[in-house]
Amino acid sequence: MKRAERPDLNSMAYWDMTWDRFEREDGYALLENERQRSWPMVLRAVPKRGRFLDVGCSSGFWLTYLREHRPRLELTGMDYSRSAISHGEGRLLVGDALAMPFPAGAFDIVYSGHLIEHVQDPWAVLREQGRVLRPGGRIIVNFPYGDGPYVEHVWNDIRYGDLGLGLRWLGFQEIRHTGVVPGPPVAEGVIWGTK
């Protein structure tokens, strides 16, 4: 992954501002595009039952989709933005992806969608996701595949090879991925592995 020159994105205030901008600039149109274009592809990697955590869930759009398509999942969402969480429904809480407020092994599936490109240390975030994942559980990462930033990114040009090697380094096995879903606004990739 190539590091982009960006400001520090590690404050809750920054992410509250980003959520407010999303609401103001009609980010819902972008989400509807994702819902139709890439979410069915991501859904193929999601088991039909278990305890599911969405890290960086915003206001829970993906969880709402999962309620319809995977009704047997026990869904939890966590985001760094209080503003985003306040606009959602269901089991949503504010938390830091680097120090999640869950015990080790609490979830069967841990998902992050369009999160790792925004953090200073994606490997630390993925390591923390592995901590809260039970042995034999599945980690799923949805990311912009190789595209430049459409919002502030810390990391650009993310590829399957980078993530696959990183997941193996962190102890995940059975690494698999989908094909690339072309944009707009960005191409998307999905990779998953087993702890």
Residue 16 belongs to domain with CATH number: 3.40.50.150
Domain membership flag for residue 51: yes
Report yes or no: 51 and 63 within 8 Å, Cβ to Cβ: no
Name residues whose C-beta falls within 8 Å of residue 66's C-beta, 6 or more positions apart in sequence.
43, 46, 52, 73, 75
The count of structural domains within the chain is 1
The pLDDT of 47-70, averaged and rounded, is 94
Percent of the chain with pLDDT over 70: 80
Domain membership flag for residue 92: yes
Domain membership flag for residue 195: no
Domain membership flag for residue 157: yes
Mean pLDDT over the full length of the chain: 84
Residue 74: which domain range? 2-190
Name residues whose C-beta falls within 8 Å of residue 68's C-beta, 6 or more positions apart in sequence.
none
Number of neighbouring beta carbons within 10 Å of residue 85: 21
